[in-house]
């Protein structure tokens, strides 16, 4: 087999991407951009790419070794103050990384909660109103789910690795799995390896650190799914979108690592220098050891074969369950590689496109940091965060006042398995929270960011609009220094309006008018206790949110129970809170608070499903001490009547000795987790999905399930 992998461009954005001009107008005033070089240079050969990668490896190594040298010299004077846990075996320092309705199914049903219409997002559950497709316990499980009371499994097929996400479309399923490292754990040294980052407040969009397996299955016979092809990537899954029959997957591959390179001399035992004193002899001993280490590292990097470290993929086609052809591509064709003269790490970020039922792959790759993924029906954006001092050069003249920046890379999406054409890049001050901080409308990309970290009093927020001009995304308008001393907890854009929620003690909801995208302006502000982590439009004049209530303590506020709110935004100058529902006390948690895929608003019938761990007791900074409910809560939502609790679908509370969810009431707000993960509505029935079972109940009798199906059964 010849694997049809079409590599378009490898764009090396090694110094943060590009320092595009950020001059802007708007109510917040202009932002001054720095003079970082932005031009991309076409590589003449793979040697150019390898040379640049090698040079960046050396620069980063030297920086780390010099930091270790300084630490060693400080030990001579002050003793050992650094924790051994900051070091890897061998002396290497861990650094901070800078669905169509089926004729026999329900007449109305909920689908995946996506950011943009007709742009599907990968999740572990899909449904078409008649069948539910679910990844659980290492298998793709398919259920005949209508009539609801007769829900039962009709197929189960083991998927290699740990299956985590899927798409289902017109008789095909595409499943994403993480492959375990032979040594256990993740393969790559990302700061967030091992977990998915969905909310983005205190995690990075780096993937789980494991290699990715993509498995496509033929579902023409739902009782007998058949594997048709697989793709094994050297990188890990970041995110994906499906538009029609074409799927676009973002994969992050690790930066090259050279065996033997260390940042601490083996002969200098860590923390064994204390007490030697600051004598010339002791200093010379330390410096000689680090000088020798630098020379050794440079030789190792010069001798390393970086070509073997480029991203790779291996594809296999199957017929009747038997592999009939296998192919691979190590990305050795560098004729259209692009390079830049600034530094941004050496990891690889690929946008891989494929047609369901096809055999080809189209791939475009950049060299740089992964980030939050946002997509429309014809463009995909990757927004990567950067910090001043962790890069070579900076975008702005004053890194002290602009310590955070986000580079945004834009790709054109094809309706075939073709490479996603790279269209350009831009930069905005501050860091994005998540995918909802970006939105494209009428040719402009709106972006909400935060500069600084609480409790720094210089923390503030920015909302900018960018437009593509040639190969650049240029900031055309900006509202700057929004909500000083606070940071963004949620953002959402609908049409010409943006909604931004910030927080420190209270929850200001800002309405921002983008009717003139080059002169955006704040129209209204509403201050109320608590904060929203996700916002969802009910209709043109009303926005619903989920988040946390808060207890004002003067200089700060304790987060409290889960908070549901409805805002009347018909008058942008005067947004109003019309309804509020507080669920439980501090420590109550819901996956829906930090993962929009768990937020299920069934607009056709005005129903809202929220996975919930409900805790009572506790006050102020004390977590609740009693879990009173674990399951799915269902509300009827009405813009006039607010939230009317219908009831809950209870699930068995897990065993505290074996399940981390059983402790229940101690979860942190930005890492909320509930035992129930998702829900599906079909007409007047709700399907509540935990890790171990599906409970199906009529909305008029939620406490008495009409069907219970175990997910652990063969």
Say if residue 706 is exposed, middle or buried (CB neighbours under 10 Å; 0-12, 13-18, 19+). middle
Distance from C-alpha of 605 to C-alpha of 545, rounded to nearest angstrom: 18
Cβ neighbours of 271 (radius 10 Å): 13
In a domain, 688, yes or no: no
Instruction: Write the DSSP symbol of residue 391.
Output: S
Residues in the chain with pLDDT values less than 50: 1-39, 81-102, 182-186, 188-194, 330, 336, 660-661
pLDDT of residue 341: 52
pLDDT one-digit tens code per residue, 400-426: 899 999 989 899 999 998 888 888 888
Q: At what angle do helices 46-78 and 280-303 cross, to 10 degrees?
A: 160
> Residue 594: which of 435, 463, 443 has the closest Cα?
435
Distance from C-alpha of 548 to C-alpha of 561, rounded to nearest angstrom: 6
In a domain, 242, yes or no: yes
Helix, coil or strand: residue 489: strand
- Find all residues with CB under 8 Å of 151, minimum gap 6, and list them: 132, 143, 144, 145, 687, 694, 696, 707, 709
* Cis before 455? omega within 30: yes
In a domain, 393, yes or no: yes
**Sign (positive/negative) of CA torsion 474, 479, 481, 487?**
negative
pLDDT of residue 32: 38
pLDDT one-digit tens code per residue, 567-584: 999 999 999 999 999 999
Q: Which helix (H) or strand (E) holds 288?
A: helix 280-303
Is residue 238 within 8 Å of 370, Cβ to Cβ? yes
Instruction: Write the DSSP symbol of residue 218.
Output: E
pLDDT of residue 343: 59
Instruction: Write the DSSP symbol of residue 238.
Output: E
> Residue 237: which of 185, 291, 197 has the closest Cα?
197
Cβ neighbours of 332 (radius 10 Å): 10
CA distances 232 to 158, 160, 313, 316, 593, Å, are 17, 11, 5, 9, 33
In a domain, 166, yes or no: no
Distance from C-alpha of 460 to C-alpha of 446, rounded to nearest angstrom: 17
The model's pTM is 0.87
Distance from C-alpha of 318 to C-alpha of 249, rounded to nearest angstrom: 21
Is residue 51 within 8 Å of 341, Cβ to Cβ? no
Instruction: Write the DSSP symbol of residue 256.
Output: P
Distance from C-alpha of 355 to C-alpha of 122, rounded to nearest angstrom: 15
Structural tokens at position 452: 């600084």
Distance from C-alpha of 409 to C-alpha of 344, rounded to nearest angstrom: 13
Q: Which helix (H) or strand (E) holds 46?
A: helix 46-78
Q: Report the 3 state secondary structure along 50-99.
A: HHHHHHHHHHHHHHHHHHHHHHHHHHHHHCCCCCHHHECCCCCECCCCCC
530 in the Ramachandran plot: left (φ > 0), alpha (ψ -120 to 50) or beta? Answer: left
> Residue 543: which of 568, 579, 574 has the closest Cα?
568
Structural tokens at position 374: 């946002």
In a domain, 102, yes or no: no
In a domain, 256, yes or no: yes
**Sign (positive/negative) of CA torsion 17, 23, 29, 31?**
positive
Sheet with 607-616: list strands edge to edge: 600-602, 607-616, 626-638, 642-650
Q: What residues form DSSP beta bridges with 140?
A: 135, 157
Helix, coil or strand: residue 301: helix
What's the chain's Rg over C-alpha atoms?
26
Sheet with 226-233: list strands edge to edge: 162-169, 172-179, 211-218, 226-233, 313-319, 322-329
Name the domain count of the chain: 1
pLDDT of residue 344: 55
In a domain, 262, yes or no: yes
Residue position matching structure tokens 């068995």: 652
Residue 90 belongs to what domain range? 1-95+192-373+386-407
Is residue 15 within 8 Å of 395, Cβ to Cβ? no
Distance from C-alpha of 432 to C-alpha of 371, rounded to nearest angstrom: 9
Q: What backbone torsions phi and psi does residue 685 show, to the nearest 5 degrees?
A: -115, 145
Is residue 134 within 8 Å of 120, Cβ to Cβ? no
Q: Which helix (H) or strand (E) holds 286?
A: helix 280-303
Is residue 15 within 8 Å of 39, Cβ to Cβ? no
DSSP 566-619: EEE-SSTTS-EEEEEEEESSTT-B-GGGT-GGG-EEEGGGTEEEEEEEEEE---
Is residue 629 within 8 Å of 588, Cβ to Cβ? no
Distance from C-alpha of 159 to C-alpha of 142, rounded to nearest angstrom: 13
């Amino acid at each position: 087999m010849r694997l049809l992998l079409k590599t378009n461009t490898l764009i090396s954005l090694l110094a943060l991407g590009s320092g595009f001009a950020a001059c802007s107008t708007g109510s917040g005033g202009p932002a001054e951009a720095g003079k970082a070089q932005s031009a991309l240079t076409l590589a003449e050969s793979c040697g150019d790419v390898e040379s640049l990668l090698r040079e960046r490896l050396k620069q980063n190594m030297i920086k780390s070794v010099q930091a270790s040298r300084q630490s060693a010299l400080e030990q001579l004077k002050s003793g050992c103050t650094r924790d051994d846990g900051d070091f890897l075996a061998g002396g290497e320092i861990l650094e901070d990384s800078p669905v169509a309705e089926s004729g026999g199914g329900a007449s109305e049903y909920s689908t995946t909660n996506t950011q943009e219409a007709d742009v599907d997002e990968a999740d572990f559950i899909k449904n078409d109103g008649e069948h539910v497709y679910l990844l659980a316990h290492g298998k793709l499980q398919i259920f005949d789910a209508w009539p609801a009371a007769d829900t039962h499994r009709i197929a189960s097929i083991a998927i290699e690795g740990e299956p985590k996400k899927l798409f289902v479309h017109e008789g095909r399923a595409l499943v994403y799995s993480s492959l375990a490292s032979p040594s256990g754990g993740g393969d790559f040294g990302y700061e967030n390896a091992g977990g998915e980052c969905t909310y983005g407040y205190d995690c990075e969009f780096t993937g789980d650190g494991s290699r990715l397996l993509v498995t496509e299955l033929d579902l023409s016979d739902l009782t007998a799914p058949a594997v048709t092809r697989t793709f094994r990537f050297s990188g890990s899954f970041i995110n994906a979108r499906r538009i029609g029959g074409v799927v676009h997957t973002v994969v992050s591959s690790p930066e090259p690592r050279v065996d033997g390179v260390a940042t601490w001399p083996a002969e200098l035992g860590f923390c064994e220098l204390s007490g030697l004193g600051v004598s010339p002899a002791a200093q010379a001993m330390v410096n000689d050891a680090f000088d020798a280490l630098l020379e050794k590292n440079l030789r190792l990097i010069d001798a390393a074969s970086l070509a073997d470290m480029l991203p790779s993929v291996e594809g296999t086609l199957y017929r009747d369950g038997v592999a009939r052809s296998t192919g691979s591509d190590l990305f050795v064709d560098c004729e259209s590689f692009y390079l830049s003269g600034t530094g941004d790490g050496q990891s690889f970020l690929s946008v891989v496109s494929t047609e369901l039922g096809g055999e080809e792959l189209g791939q475009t790759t950049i060299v740089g940091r992964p980030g939050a993924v946002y997509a429309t029906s014809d463009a995909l954006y990757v927004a990567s965060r950067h910090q001043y001092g962790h890069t070579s050069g900076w975008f702005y003249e004053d890194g002290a006042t602009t310590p955070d920046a986000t580079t945004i890379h834009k790709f054109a999406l094809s309706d075939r398995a073709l490479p996603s054409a790279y269209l350009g890049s831009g930069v905005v001050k501050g860091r994005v929270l998540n995918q909802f901080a970006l939105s494209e409308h009428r040719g402009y990309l709106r972006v909400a960011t935060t500069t600084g970290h609480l409790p720094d009093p210089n923390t503030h927020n920015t909302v900018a609009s960018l437009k593509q001009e040639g190969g650049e995304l240029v900031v055309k308008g900006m509202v700057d220094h929004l909500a000083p001393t606070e940071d963004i907890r949620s953002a959402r854009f609908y049409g010409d309006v943006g909604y931004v929620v910030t927080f420190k003690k209270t929850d200001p909801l800002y309405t921002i008018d983008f009717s003139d995208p080059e002169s955006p302006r704040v129209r209204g502000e509403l201050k109320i206790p608590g904060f929203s982590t996700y916002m969802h439009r009910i209709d043109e004049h009303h926005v619903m949110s989920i988040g946390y209530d808060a207890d004002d303590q003067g200089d700060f506020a304790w987060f409290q129970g889960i908070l549901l709110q409805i805002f009347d935004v018909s008058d942008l100058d005067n947004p109003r809170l019309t309804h509020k529902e507080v669920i439980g006390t501090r420590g109550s948690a819901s996956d829906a608070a930090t993962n929009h895929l768990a937020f299920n608003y069934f607009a056709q019938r005005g129903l809202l499903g929220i996975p919930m761990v409900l805790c009572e007791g506790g006050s102020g900074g004390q977590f609740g001490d009693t879990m009173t409910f674990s399951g799915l809560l269902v509300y009827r939502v009405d813009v006039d009547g607010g939230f009317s609790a219908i009831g809950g679908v209870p699930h068995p509370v897990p065993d505290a000795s074996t399940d981390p969810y059983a402790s229940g009431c101690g979860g942190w707000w930005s890492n909320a987790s509930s035992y129930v993960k998702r829900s599906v509505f079909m007409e007047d029935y709700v399907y509540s999905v935990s890790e171990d079972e599906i409970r199906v109940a009529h909305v008029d009798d939620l406490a008495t399930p009409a069907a219970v199906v175990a997910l652990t059964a063969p």
